[in-house]
Structure 1
Amino acid sequence: MANSKQTAPVSADEVSSLGQRWYVLIMMMLVYTISIADRYVFSQVQEQIKTEMQLTDFGIGLVGGISLGLFYVTMGIPLSWLADRKNRRNLLVTSITVWSAATALCGMSRNYVELLLARIGVGIGEAGGTPPCNSIIADYFPAARRPMAMTIFALGAPIGAYLGADAAGAISQAYGWRSAFLALGLPGIVLAIIIMLTIKEPARGRLDAVSGDDTPTLKETLRFLLTQKAALHGMMGGGLSAFWGWGLMWFTAPFLQRNFDLNEAQAGAITGPIHLWMGIGASLLTAWLLMKPSFANPKRVVWLLSGVTAAATIPSFIAYYTSSLTLATAMFWIFIPAVYFYIGPAFALIQNLAPPKMRAMFVAISLLFANVLNLVIIPPLIGFMSDSFAGPSGADGESLRMALLILAPTGFWAAYHYWAAGKTIVEDQKRAIGYV
């Protein structure tokens, strides 16, 4: 990067109070909560939508996944380019408003086309959410505390998934699927107003030892990324974790409904508490571990990610193989927390391997890869496989089970990339931010 210079890191206490840092972190976590809830409410209510609109499993995957995911990933790069150059707070507020309004419009959709357009709106809005959140948090917490801070930020995932599963399932069962979208869409607009009124844009890169006078181009950012082997492996690991874990979660509600004769509220009542309590527990345990001095060494962070992901892959397979609801539920209590365990450390890994003025773009590239796998490929792919395995009467519980069993072992693939990141992560982090 042009005009790079080495300086001592500024203490976080010199630029913000402890209360300010944690207020910003909690507000960013709430943004992530709303994002996950609005994104995954569809997966909980998809059986009602499928029946009303007379869709196949492949068709429901198209409107639920690709419609959101394709625009999420294509808009992520230009919006992150803006986040690395313009006011991140204002971009974030605009993005929250757009995706929250679009979520509410999903509930007002009268046909397939209107629902498709509303889901596209959710994807466009959410593309401008996570990258500025990550970048803002990095200007309140120094490198050694970013894994912890990003793990607190990642609490938004289990809370949002709980809202999108348990709460949405109960609302949908009582009042219909449209009410679930309305109930989860409108609070985001209120949150956007609060952020606009209470949070100011921080100075970019103020806690890093490497700074630059010039803002790098996209070409320069990509060229630097290709030299960061640990970042590439980290992005692969995070993307494949989303492919594996969130891919399985996308179809868990219909899997439970079809194989165990449950309604939406009953299916949500099984997975919702696991998302909430074990997801939060896993995230807090991760934060506690990462606050320990031994985890200041980034190698230990990626080795932890690798070990936990590999271990959790086994119960993820058993959960969809068994015909016992009791055993499946027990396996969900082990497997689902791992879906959240990786999020915070993986975000922090990318932050610490990117210079300040490339940070939002690194996050966007990581999210592009993860969400192509998770939202663009998985929903229609699993739907297509389920339809292909089905008999003359159409897709059912057994055809969906077969499709999910093919997906489950990919957790081992994610674990490999986390392990591989450890080989160069120390040198790559020094190159990016000037210290470890």
Structure 2
Amino acid sequence: MGACTRAGTRTKPRGGRMSRLASAAGGIGATRVTWRAWMVVFILLLLVTLAFIDRMSISLMVDPIKASFGIDDFRMGILQGPAFAVFFLIGSLPMGWIVDRYPARWTIYFGVTAWSLATIACGLAGSFTELLIARCLVGLGEAVLQPASWSLVARLFPPQRLALAISVLSSGAQVGAAASYVMGGVLIAQATAIAADPLPVFGQVESWQVVFLACGVLGVAMAFLIFTAPRERKAGASSDGTGNAGLGRFIRDNRVFLVCHFLGFSLLCAMTYGAAAWLPTLLMRSHGLDVRTVGTLLAAVAVTAGIGGFVFNGWWVDRAFARGRKDAHLRHFALVGAAVAIIGGFGFSLGATAVALVLCFAVIQFLQPFSGVAGAVLQIATPPEYRGRISAAFILLYNSAGIALGPSLVVFLSDRVFASSDLGPAIAASYALLGSTAAALLWAGRRHAAAAAQRGTDPATHQDSP
């Protein structure tokens, strides 16, 4: 097997293409992709979509919930944001340990069932406190899905097909966001008539409770779909018998790759969150668009450009990796970060019309979907017994950076640097600063990513059979 060259990054495995590497490396999937593997990806896509529907449908029921419990916008904001997000983030690390210790099928099943039961509890809540606790449990249950899904898919796909597979299931975030508005709107429209009479088992409920109950019952039923995935064996500890010591050694040996990967992609996430949080305000405040028009435009961009970007980025990186470019994952998004810094920096500072801003945002939304590619290279580089914890740590960091840094940086730049109510220059500066810094980090880490990927596809590195 060819070694990684000093220049970087292209290797030519003896005997043919990268699929032979996959067949040798027991820790990464199979020699070829079967219809069953794609069926599992489709099922996971449905579960990710369901998760986002459960997560976001509350935003359509603000006024009915406020009326039921007599709460103000501040407490409603807690239900929509921190109640879910804090427990989702807190739960990431322990859920990563669970993923490493127990079979992914059962881990996903119990996670989906748990958050679906918590969603049902949201529908049965009789007070603000009960609804708050139920929302926290929804966040905790959903924390298991992403690291468990990545780990499961990594066992079904060879390395050169993994970025596309994980990108497809990651696109469920975009599908779920759109579906939450469509399905939620339909359910809410019908909920008043449904709630007029007592429901079987649940009794008399209000219209907003019907939405939660319907989503929760659907989730309990859909959880069983994960058992169509093939069984796997879990050793319950590291294959070399060193447990956490082995994890610590892996982190030390790959520290430059992990630091550049974690920080680079986290800054891309912060860049994305910041623009997404404040672009609607920019369009309404500076260009006079109404909230319905803004919502429709941005939803259309998210569904078309966002989903297309996930699929394209995964396909393109897999194609480069299959040709022997072992640094393909970080190299691609280093170039994307630089491109977005330029496009966003100039586009939002010079964009004179709402149409120009939306088009600029659409181009960026197509380029920037990174989670599938970022997750894929972690699965390739990480031994199977550590994937859950490494993935969970990355998920925790990039979501925290996105939530905490992205929107606040735009506000800081607008208030403290530009001292203007026009958010365009602040968003432009955010794109330029975060995009260029992310590009530098990912470019610096690409050689280390190539070395980590080389070790990850080396059959002598880890022997694990799914």
Assess same fold via TM > 0.5. yes
Note if contact 1:35-1:160 (Cα within 8 Å) is conserved in structure 2. Answer: yes
Counterpart-to-counterpart distance in 1, 2:37 and 2:173: 20
Aligned positions, number: 412
Paired position in structure 2 for 1:324: 353
Paired letter, 1:420:
A
Paired position in structure 2 for 1:234: 261
What is the Cα-based RMSD across aligned positions, in Å? 4.1
Q: Residues 25-75 of structure 1, C-alpha deviation per residue, up to 9 Å, x if partnerless? A: 22122222233444445667779989985436xx77654433322222221
Taking structure 1 as reference, are residues 150 and 377 closer, same or farther at Cα in structure 2, changes over 3 Å only? same
Gaps of 5+ in 1: 1-6, 206-210, 390-396
3-state DSSP of counterpart to 2:239? coil
Note if contact 2:33-2:158 (Cα within 8 Å) is conserved in structure 1. Answer: no
Paired position in structure 2 for 1:34: 50
Structure index of larger Rg: 2
Shift of the alpha carbon at 1:225? 1.5
Taking structure 1 as reference, are residues 247 and 53 closer, same or farther at Cα in structure 2, changes over 3 Å only? farther
Match of 1:280 among 282, 307, 311: 307
Shift of the alpha carbon at 1:314? 4.3
Q: Residues 281-321 of structure 1, C-alpha deviation per residue, up to 9 Å, x if partnerless? A: 22222233234255542213321111123322444454598
The worse-fitting range, judged by mean Cα deviation, of 38-47 and 266-275 is 38-47
Counterpart-to-counterpart distance in 2, 1:143 and 1:89: 21
Paired position in structure 1 for 2:333: 305
Paired position in structure 2 for 1:394: none
Note if contact 2:112-2:141 (Cα within 8 Å) is conserved in structure 1. Answer: yes
Paired letter, 2:362:
W
**Map of 1:194-213 to 2, 5 A cutoff?**
194-196=225-227, 198-203=228-233, 213=239
Shift of the alpha carbon at 1:369? 0.7
Note if contact 1:148-1:291 (Cα within 8 Å) is conserved in structure 2. Answer: yes
Shift of the alpha carbon at 1:147? 1.9
Shift of the alpha carbon at 1:399? 8.0
Shift of the alpha carbon at 1:269? 1.5
Task: Determine if the alignment matches structure 1 residue 422 to structure 2 residue 450.
Answer: no
Match of 1:81 among 71, 76, 97: 97
Paired letter, 1:422:
R
How many percent identity over aligned positions? Answer: 23
**Map of 1:165-314 to 2, 5 A cutoff?**
168=184, 186-196=217-227, 198-203=228-233, 213-214=239-240, 217-228=243-254, 229-253=256-280, 256=283, 265-292=292-319, 295=322, 296-314=324-342
Paired position in structure 2 for 1:4: none
Q: Residues 215-238 of structure 1, C-alpha deviation per residue, up to 9 Å, x if partnerless? A: 653454244213212122112222
Task: Determine if the alignment matches structure 1 residue 151 to structure 2 residue 179.
Answer: no
Scaled by the length of structure 1, the TM-score of the pair is: 0.78
Counterpart-to-counterpart distance in 2, 1:95 and 1:422: 34
Counterpart-to-counterpart distance in 2, 1:256 and 1:84: 45
3-state DSSP of counterpart to 1:298? coil
Counterpart-to-counterpart distance in 1, 2:133 and 2:350: 36
Gaps of 5+ in 2: 1-22, 192-206, 462-466
Counterpart-to-counterpart distance in 2, 1:212 and 1:285: 35
The worse-fitting range, judged by mean Cα deviation, of 16-25 and 128-137 is 16-25
Note if contact 1:216-1:357 (Cα within 8 Å) is conserved in structure 2. Answer: no
The worse-fitting range, judged by mean Cα deviation, of 161-170 and 27-36 is 161-170
Note if contact 2:163-2:315 (Cα within 8 Å) is conserved in structure 1. Answer: no
Paired letter, 1:413:
T
Taking structure 1 as reference, are residues 264 and 406 closer, same or farther at Cα in structure 2, changes over 3 Å only? same
